[in-house]
Amino acid sequence: MPQPRVTTAMKQPDAEPLAPIPVNPAYPLPGSIARPEYGPGEREALIDEIRQLLREKDAVLVAHYYTDEDLQMIADETGGTVADSLEMARFGNRHPASTLVVAGVRFMGETAKILNPEKRVLMPTLEAECSLDLGCPPEKFIPFCDAHPERTVVVYANTCAAVKARADWVVTSSIAVDVVNHLKDKGEKILWAPDRYLGSYVKRVTGADMLLWQASCIVHERFKASALQNLAERYPDAAILVHPESPEAVIEMADVVGSTTQLIKAAQRLPNQRFIVATDNGIFYKMKQAAPDKVFMEAPSAGEGATCESCAHCPWMAMNHLRNLAEVLRNGDNEIHVPEDIRKQALKSTQRMVDFVAEQR
Ligand code: 13P
Ligand code: SF4
């Protein structure tokens, strides 16, 4: 059966003279977001084997909150980490293991390699993409930057190494506002890529002069403000937590807007007993650990009568599971390689982010 294709037309960046036209690449989505079905005893056997292989291979598991809860559980139990994309990037530097196994999407493995060239970086699959990364191909992005030499180029971590190499700064959602405020205070004008929703959120909050690339996250852009409004009316006691990759109308309804870690902390900190959460539902595993007595509900990701491709779960994150994690540890396949010239260039903008965070804390 042919794979569904993303057909949403990508709008042009805010009109400015010289802007070349970024064309939305059509790309296939991976198949199912369902967890694999395991045979009797298979899950337990795989978990035992993975624990043992991590020890034997001097490897540590670095998992994102959106991955399968078995992977998050193993990362926690074996001294790895479950984190947002910023902390995933920072973790490898601090940990002595010679191999980082990154469970997430490809840009996360590449970021780990950019920052840790001496380490082997493996991923359960090299096919886990991100629509933001795919929506910002370097062959379109680099000429776009070249056409706006007066702007400081700030890119979201959800980009490939070649795009990071063209950027002045890399940011994640947890520090985007702080970095842009810092640049604005220095009088800099910004070219932002690739997420248009996060970009326009940062622009509204900071008032900075930002030219926005127009890619989007296929998971977060599906959250629907009108259906969220209906749900919020049924549960007026619920606090609404929103990841800033969501559309503006959804962000406007939020009690807290933040990165995945910031949303988990808010669930713990706020007095509410009930939360409506507009981000990937993989986050519920950690939210429930952080606030076991509270109730978490998915924000609606399809309006009345609409269909939903992602259903609040990233289809690429869902490609990580116990079978391919065990397989990569057995065989050492799926190693991330970044050409050294690109890596060195991408290190400048990525290290700038890491140093900025270290100075802030
Ligand atoms: P965080 O940095 O908040 O973990 O976000 C990464 C991501 O891909 C969200 O969709
Ligand atoms: Fe990319 Fe969205 Fe998946 Fe995050 S949830 S990895 S932004 S497609």
Out of 6-20, 41-55, 112-126, 288-302, pick the least confident: 6-20
Residue 52: pLDDT over 50: yes
Q: If you measure from the C-alpha of residue 1 to the centroid of ligand 1, how many angstroms do you get, rounded to a whole number?
A: 31
Atom of ligand 2 nearest to the CA of 195: 7
Q: Is the CB of 281 under 6 A from ligand 1?
A: no
Indicate the SS3 state at residue 212.
Answer: strand
Q: Assess whether the C-beta atom of 310 lies below 6 angstroms from ligand 1.
A: no
Residue nearest to atom 8 of ligand 2 (CA): 130
Count, residues in the chain: 361
Query: Residue 187 is encoded by which pair of tokens?
Result: 């009088």
CA–centroid distance, 143 to ligand 1, in Å, is 27
5-27 tens-digit pLDDT: 333 333 444 434 344 434 445 56
Ligand 2 atom with least separation from CA of 132: 1
> What residue type is 110 in one-letter code?
E
Please state the three-class secondary structure of 3-62 as a single string.
CCECCCCCCCCCCCCCCCCCCCCCCECCCCCCCCCCCCCHHHHHHHHHHHHHHHCCEEEE
Q: Which two tokens stand for residue 178?
A: 């702080």
Quote the ligand 1 centre to 78 CA distance (angstroms). 23
Per-residue pLDDT at 143 exceeds 80: yes
pLDDT tens for 168-203 read 999 999 999 999 999 999 999 999 999 999 999 999
CA angle 87, 47, 85 (to 5 degrees): 15
Q: What is the pLDDT of residues 243-285, one digit of tens each?
A: 999 999 999 999 999 999 999 999 999 999 999 999 999 999 9
Of ligand 1's listed atoms, the one at least distance from the Cα of 217 is 10
pLDDT digits (tens, 9 = 90+) for 154-174: 999 999 999 999 999 999 999
Q: Is the CB of 105 under 6 A from ligand 2?
A: yes
